[in-house]
Amino acid sequence: MADLNRCPHADNCGGCSYQGVEYEYQLSNKEGEVRGLFIHAELEPDKFDSIEGCPEAYHYAYRNKMEYTFGDMVKDGPLCLGMHKPGQFMSVTTVDHCQIIDQDFNVILRYTLDFATERGYVKYHKRRHTGLLRNLVIRKGERTGELLVNIVTSSQGEFEEEAWKEGLLALSLNNTIVGIMHTINDSVADKVTCEELRMLYGREYYIEKIFDLTFKVHEFSFFQTNVEAVERLYSEAIELIDDFSGKNVFDLYCGTGTISQVMARRAAHVIGIEIVPESIDAAKENAEVNGIENCEFICGDVFETLSASQEMPDVIVVDPPRVGIGDKAVEKIAAYAVPQIVYISCNPKTLVKDLALFTQLGYEITYVKPFDNFPMTKHTECITLLTRK
């Protein structure tokens, strides 16, 4: 496979840190970083497997979601739409030639930026909390070619919704726009928060296929960023469990219930716990769509929900966000003393912190394998099997 040409945005965009770097070196470096974290934490897995590279790592637009920010590169400069410059909170660079996304994303970004510039719209100022334009969010169903487009603004001014929508629908795209929306966000926090959602066209979800299951992914619910890679990661993670037959499984930090539903076809019963209400709603809806009746989904903090529950698991799978599990939840999970725990991690630093506590609480690290699901970036995922001593 040929290397990607160096991205024209590489010097100013904080998205990819391995631009122009040979892929084998990326893999070697990422594996070395993970191994180094384990050595530093004095953790010795029974087996540490080699890193698994991303399928079709080059010329493969693997990201199915982008959250762009409106801003400028220099103070009072031309309006930009894209990513923050590394280490500069206020600087934004336009990224309309990004190589790790579907090229339809670039087309939609450029159209939206031109639309806003022609009308003289101003960015939302993060420190003064004034202005109109905040974010553009694009999501795609990799297996279905369905697109969602969401403009995020403050309520400080009028945005020409109808004209923007009609222009989007007139674009020549390889995929199909199934939903266009306008989110109003007056929160001072620098993140996409939905205080009001205006549907301008279609629906607020896209359809995705993973394994042979169907998932409705709503605009504000979490879903895996690289569908091709995560399907392989989940397959290997599940195979670490000796046997699901007749067992009660806890899927903690379950998101939209993807791996819950895969396990449910072999387990007696699966309980998924997730703190994001939109994700739990989607999980319940998707289980119904797929005809899976032995999944139960609970919305709540993992530690608090487990503390209030009388259910007893036979197997536990955890897939926490980047902040990891945390000491209280680790202690609660370990107290069940199940024979096997599978830990899926998107942050090796918090993984080793949690694993260190698990080893103090009666578990040994049987197996670790890193995965490069995000080529060109600094991110690495891991699967780990913990076995009760």
- Is CATH 3.90.180.10 correct for 65-210? no
46 annotated ligand-binding residue: no
Is 18 annotated as contributing to ligand binding?
A: no
Domain with CATH 3.40.50.150 in the chain: 23-57+226-388
pLDDT at 57 over 70: no
Query: Residue 108 pLDDT more than 50?
Result: yes
pLDDT over 70, % of the chain: 98
CA distance 318 to 297: 14
Report residue 159 CA to chain centroid gap.
Answer: 29
Q: What is the pLDDT of residue 56?
A: 66
What amino acid positions are annotated as catalytic residues?
346
CATH class of residue range 23-57+226-388: alpha beta
Domain with CATH 2.40.50.1070 in the chain: 65-210
Picking from 19-28, 85-94, 173-182, which range would have the lowest pLDDT averaged per residue?
A: 85-94
Q: At 110, give phi and psi (nearest 5°).
A: -65, -40
CA distance 77 to 354: 45
Residues 299 and 78: their CA atoms lie apart, in Å, by: 43
Query: What is the per-residue pLDDT for 88?
Result: 76
Instruction: Confirm if 279 and 216 have CB atoms less than 8 A apart.
Output: no
**Residue 20: pLDDT band with limits 50, 70, 90:** confident
2 has pLDDT over 50: no
pLDDT confidence bin for 59, thresholds 50/70/90 = very low
Task: Give me the pLDDT at residue 83, please.
Answer: 92
The answer for residues whose C-beta is within 8 angstroms of residue 177's C-beta and 6 or more apart is 147, 148, 149, 168, 169, 201, 202
**H-only helix segments in the chain:** 23-40, 103-118, 161-170, 227-239, 258-264, 277-289, 302-308, 327-335, 348-360
Q: Is the pLDDT of residue 126 over 80?
A: yes
The answer on whether 319 is annotated among ligand-binding residues is yes
Q: 224 a known binding residue?
A: yes
| Inter-residue contact 31 to 102 (CB < 8 Å) | no
Comparing 158-167, 328-337, 371-380, the range with the smallest average pLDDT is 371-380
382/7: higher pLDDT:
382
- Residue 58: predicted pLDDT: 46
Q: What token pair was written down for 232?
A: 């392989």
Q: From CA 319, how far away is CA 255, in angstroms rounded? A: 9
